[in-house]
Chain A
Amino acid sequence: MRYLRYLIPLGAFLVLTGFLFRGLWMDPHQVPSPLIDKPAPQFRLTQVADPAKSLSRDQMLGQVWLLNVWASWCVSCREEHPVLVEFAKSGIVPIYGLDYKDTRDEALKWLDRLGNPYQASLFDADGRVGIDYGVYGVPETYVIDKSGTIRYKQIGPITPEILNEKIVPLVKKLNA
């Protein structure tokens, strides 16, 4: 029996290895959203480009659309932006932006310089709508269906792989 205690370190290490192995197949970025398959929260916000025009959730009903949360101060958004600009050209699905905790000036300059993939961007200066949507880190992207239900949430930058493997197939299914 007294030999057993010399096996403790090995045993502890084997347990640790098990966890590390599982860890390899998990994506630390993936956070489940409680909003999946729930109605998208209501909003009525002015547009970034024109403070006189506003948009609400109910105006979007009847189409499948993407809501992309971005901000001019967000580093990863800049990384993601060219992917969105390219994707918008394909016209597969309309993309609306939610400009999160930003200033109108900075946001417009940003779109000017890097291109504008959005049908329109909603201006969420105080982040109120972002909170309703459970924004966890910018950028985030939601796929919302014709009935206004959230079907998918992407945390972190969209990559061409995510578009091709997840978002485009989902949009096609929802539109079918």
Chain B
Amino acid sequence: MIPELGNFALMVALAVALVQGMLPIVGAARGNEAWMGLARPAARAVFVLVLLAAGCLVASFVRDDFSVLYVATNSTRALPLRYKVAAFWGGHEGSMLLWLLILSFWMFAVSVFSRHLPQSMVARILGVMGLIAVGFLLFILLTSNPFDRLIPAAEDGRDLNPLLQDPGMVAHPPMLYMGYVGFSVAFAFAIAALLGGNLDATWARWSRPWTTVAWSFLTLGICLGSAWAYWTLGWGGWWFWDPVENASFMPWLAGTALMHSLAVTEKRGGFKVWTVLLAIFAFSLSLLGTFLVRSGVLTSVHAFANDPRRGVFILLFLSLVIGGSLALYAWRAPKVGLGERFELISRETMLLTNNVLFLAAAGAVLLGTLYPLFLDSLGLDKLSVGPPYFNFVFPLLMAPALFLMGIGPLARWKQANLPEIAVRLKWAFGVSLVTALLLPLALGHWSWLAAAGLWLALWIYAATAVNLWSRLRPLAGTGLLARFRSLPLGYLGMLTAHVGVATFIVGVTLVKTYEAEKDVQMDIGDTVTVGPYTLQFGGVSNGSRENYLFSKGAFQVTRNGQIVETMYAEKRQFVSQAEPSTVAAIDLVRDLYISLGEAAGSNTSAWIVRVYYKPFVHWVWGGCLVMALGGVLALSDRRYRLTRRAGQEALDGTLAGTVPA
């Protein structure tokens, strides 16, 4: 009964979403209040219905209902409860339902936090989101229904992929989708503004917090995914330029550009056309990512179901959404006026450069991801584009953006004075350069790349400090802390995010330059040295837990003859799976990584062991967390709370003219 209930909820949701996607938009065009008023209740109803469907799927997992095909393929009786719940998004059908659930959650959020918006705007925004929901509901019901029955029911399920039985996997997809799908809000705002012809600073002000929150989630999601790969894949890598990773990274790049562009549109009224285009791009890249992952046009370590019928459906949907919005853009954008003029040297120019660089980077990633497909379609060649391409092109495009990150926040709007900025930043420049040249020597191995990476990071740190100090110094106030508190959170959020970027670069640079790797066969008592550490193998012991058997290798770590700790690396054999999986021993503080390979033979106690020393690797994820924290700080800015409380009448006054009567 429960799966049928879920199925039924999805069908009703489809009907409601159809209403939500049509009547309010038509109503907004005709000035029909009653039709516009349908948007909010419809959006909330869709959310409740999809939530109900999701609850039914979770219940089917928890009750071990193996008469549901999706449950039978992604769970077993022995699976621990937390993974039974997470198995929800362990496969294709559930992932799509999660996508839809999060989309409807965002619709619900918009319906709640939009009291200060004019009704026609809300109607159009929720209408656009409703249409997207219709597409996904159809996709789920027609091609990927998680409630499909398996008759006769299976005795036991096929189990969740062991790689996914990991705490990181419980949190990674929801976070990632919150970000991915969150861009649908900025997208809906942009389409609504194009439809309504009210592309202005107020539109940018409303879009900004939604974009920032989606961006923060996406940052966290990508960060978790990368950490998960490091933990469970056993290769000691944290980013592989895999098509699926790229699919989540491209919207992040476009979203970053969008956030910066929105700042200009809000503050200066400029870049409107550009901002709309970026909003369309960010969400289009999210959809494209979904297509790439779900259709199987590209091979990837993530290898999901490969079904051309699904691919055709998503591609059709993709064409309608992206093609439609780009056509609307081509029709409406030429009528949008330009913003205020600005000089060549100004904060606007720097943000524009930032946008172009980020978009170029997204384009480069897209090209690298799709290049094999292009060549193959043209019948030219079969090849795959590997990390060397990305590792070459990407830093090259990002380096100028990172350099500008130091200057941009200090530059004035409209017209900035380059000599003045140079004077203010000369110490930051000098100190960061000298330190970056000397630091690699102190670390024991000098390389140009290490120096360049460190310099960019130190430059951002130093310039950010200069910026902060220049804001703190002239403030009245007794203590430094009191003055610090009076700074707007939006500003602090920006600085924090920039510091996060610098931290990330330090991590990447140092890992790339100073990592060491040893592949050895070790018998009990054997030692191996990586970086400053010596590891002694203490043998392997066997045991069992919940739903797997394990072999656990013990390694005693010494540094300068002092014992620091004992680390344990595991090989797990899940009862239901043929392949063992690896759980590496990871010491985040000391950046050690030990992965247990195979036993060297049946009559020896020796094992193949892979040991990595990854200096500063935790800065990579630490940097991402700090970036996301910056987003959260910006969201907590006072002005968002103020507009919510006092905004109603003021906004009604300024916008009355734009609402079609």
Contact = CB atoms under 8 A, between A and B. Distances in A.
Interface of A: 2-3, 6-7, 9-10, 13-14, 16-17, 19-26, 28-29, 31-32, 73, 75, 78-79, 105, 109
Given A17-B319, A22-B377, A10 B299 contact: no
A84 to B, nearest CB: 15
A7 B370 contact: no
Contact of B311 (A9, A10, A24, A78): A24
A13 B334 contact: no
Interface stretch (B58-66, B88-96, B253-261, B320-328): B320-328
Interface string B591-628: 00000001001100000000000000000000000000
B315 A24 contact: yes
Contacts of B299: 28-29
A28 B372 contact: yes
A83 to B, nearest CB: 14
A160 to B, nearest CB: 16
Contacts of B297: 20, 23-24, 26, 28
A65 B601 CA distance: 33
B656 interface: no
Contacts of B382: 31-32
B312 A24 contact: yes
A28 to B, nearest CB: 4
Given A9-B277, A75-B579, A19 B374 contact: yes
Contacts of A19: 370, 373-374, 377
A10 B298 contact: no
B322 A13 contact: yes
B330 interface: yes
B591 to A, nearest CB: 28
B227 interface: no
A75 B291 CA distance: 27
Contacts of B329: 6, 9-10
Contacts of A14: 323
Given A17-B315, A20-B373, A28-B297, 19 more contacts: A9-B330, A10-B326, A13-B322, A13-B326, A14-B323, A16-B370, A19-B370, A20-B291, A20-B297, A20-B318, A22-B377, A23-B376, A24-B312, A25-B308, A26-B377, A29-B299, A73-B598, A78-B578, A79-B578
Contact of A2 (B327, B334, B601): B334
18 contacts: A6-B329, A13-B323, A17-B319, A19-B374, A19-B377, A20-B315, A20-B318, A21-B315, A23-B295, A23-B298, A24-B295, A24-B308, A24-B315, A26-B297, A26-B377, A28-B372, A29-B299, A105-B601
B333 interface: yes
Nearest to B309: A24
Nearest to A29: B299
A140 to B, nearest CB: 15
Interface residues of B, number: 36
Nearest to B374: A19
The interface centre, meaning the residue of A6, A19, A26, A29 with most chain B CB atoms within 10 A of its CB, is A6
Contacts of A7: 330
Contacts of A9: 277, 280, 326, 329-330
B581 to A, nearest CB: 11
Nearest to B323: A13
A23 B376 CA distance: 8
Nearest to B326: A10
Nearest to B333: A6
Contacts of B373: 19-20, 23, 26
Contacts of A29: 299
Contacts of B374: 19
Contact of B323 (A2, A3, A17, A31): A17
A34 to B, nearest CB: 12
A9 B278 CA distance: 11
What are the 3 A-B residue pairs with the smallest beta carbon separation, nearest first?
A: A23-B297, A10-B326, A22-B377
Interface in B220-260: none
Nearest to B597: A73
Interface in B251-295: 273, 277, 280, 284, 291, 295
Contacts of B334: 2-3, 6
Contacts of B273: 6
A28 B298 contact: yes
Nearest to A109: B602
B360 to A, nearest CB: 14
Contacts of A22: 377
Contact of A26 (B284, B291, B318, B376): B376
A10 B332 CA distance: 13
A17 B318 contact: yes
A14 B295 CA distance: 18
A21 B284 CA distance: 16
Interface in B571-585: 578-579
Contacts of A13: 284, 322-323, 326
Contacts of B315: 17, 20-21, 24
A109 B598 CA distance: 14
Nearest to A2: B334
A78 B326 contact: no
A75 B577 CA distance: 12
A7 B372 CA distance: 27
A146 to B, nearest CB: 30
A10 B579 CA distance: 46
Contacts of B311: 24
A105 B602 contact: yes
A19 B367 CA distance: 12
